[in-house]
Homo-oligomer: A and B are copies of this chain.
Amino acid sequence: MTSWQPAEIAWDQAAGRAAAPGISGSLRTGSELSAARFRLEPGATVPRHAHPNEEFGQVLSGSLELDVGGHVSVLRAGAGFLIPRDITHAARAGQEGCVLLECYAPPRDPFPPAGGQS
């Protein structure tokens, strides 16, 4: 390798950025995928949107109401989800907020796109 980037991602030390009102996130981008960790304040909403990246998510703490193509489920800490590309989805954090881990393939960077959606 011509340059060495540590494998470890210390999310708490990574610079966060605002993704939407009540949502901040940190991002690490590779060549085939990107990973992000988001903190959502209680009730924070991810507006309805779609993107060409397949999306995997994992609820690390709290809960998330997830709407994927009109199918709504409430995911609690420990649950994951997989959203195919181009499927419209939206989300809202539960009353305790939510910490969410996500991976996108191909990479989704820059992130968030203009407009602040995630």
Contact = CB atoms under 8 A, between A and B. Distances in A.
B32 A82 contact: no
Categorize the interface residue count of chain A: 35 or more
A50 interface: no
A114 interface: no
B6 A79 contact: no
B81 A8 contact: yes
A73 B32 contact: no
Given A6-B73, A7-B82, A58-B58, 16 more contacts: A7-B66, A8-B81, A9-B81, A28-B80, A30-B82, A30-B84, A30-B105, A31-B54, A32-B54, A32-B106, A35-B80, A35-B82, A56-B103, A58-B101, A105-B105, A105-B106
